[in-house]
Amino acid sequence: MRIGELSRRTGVSERALRYYEEHGLLRPERRPSGYRVYREADVPAVRRIRVLLAAGLSIAQIVAALPCMVDDDGLLLPSCPELVDELVKHRDRIGEAIDELEATRGNLDAIIAAERRAG
């Protein structure tokens, strides 16, 4: 599919989709004309990106945490690092992101509890 359809199906602007590509989050193929061609798997991929962005992660963190978005069938994309070492590092970065988010969620929980007592 082309960018317009992906945009409609995900609710994400074309501008944003091009921006994600610019930062390595999406790698659509190109027609000779230059038109981007996306696969079905890019629809859930965009959804994952939005979830992480909504949670407060930056594009850079998402790039670092998900250098290889896993497909529905569980296969790695061709761009993935081969060394176990690299994979371990990536997993650890994801762990850091998780820790950050859990701390944030902890803060929110405390606030919510306090407000319930006060309100």
Partner DNA sequence: CTAAACCTTGACGTTGATGTCAGAGTCAAG
Partner DNA sequence: CTTGACTCTGACATCAACGTCAAGGTTTAG
74: contact with a second copy by CB under 8 A: yes
Nearer to a second copy, 3 or 62 (CB): 62
Among the residue ranges 3-11, 15-23, 30-38, 46-54, the one whose residues contact a second copy (CB under 8 A): 46-54
Q: Around 114, how many Cα atoms within 13 Å sit in the side-chain half-sphere? A: 6
CB 14 within 8 A of CB 4: yes
Nearer to DNA, 54 or 84 (CB): 54
| CB of residue 25 to DNA, shortest distance in Å | 9
Radius of gyration of the chain (CA): 17
Interface positions with DNA (CB under 7 A): 2-5, 7, 13-16, 18-20, 23, 31-36, 53, 58-60
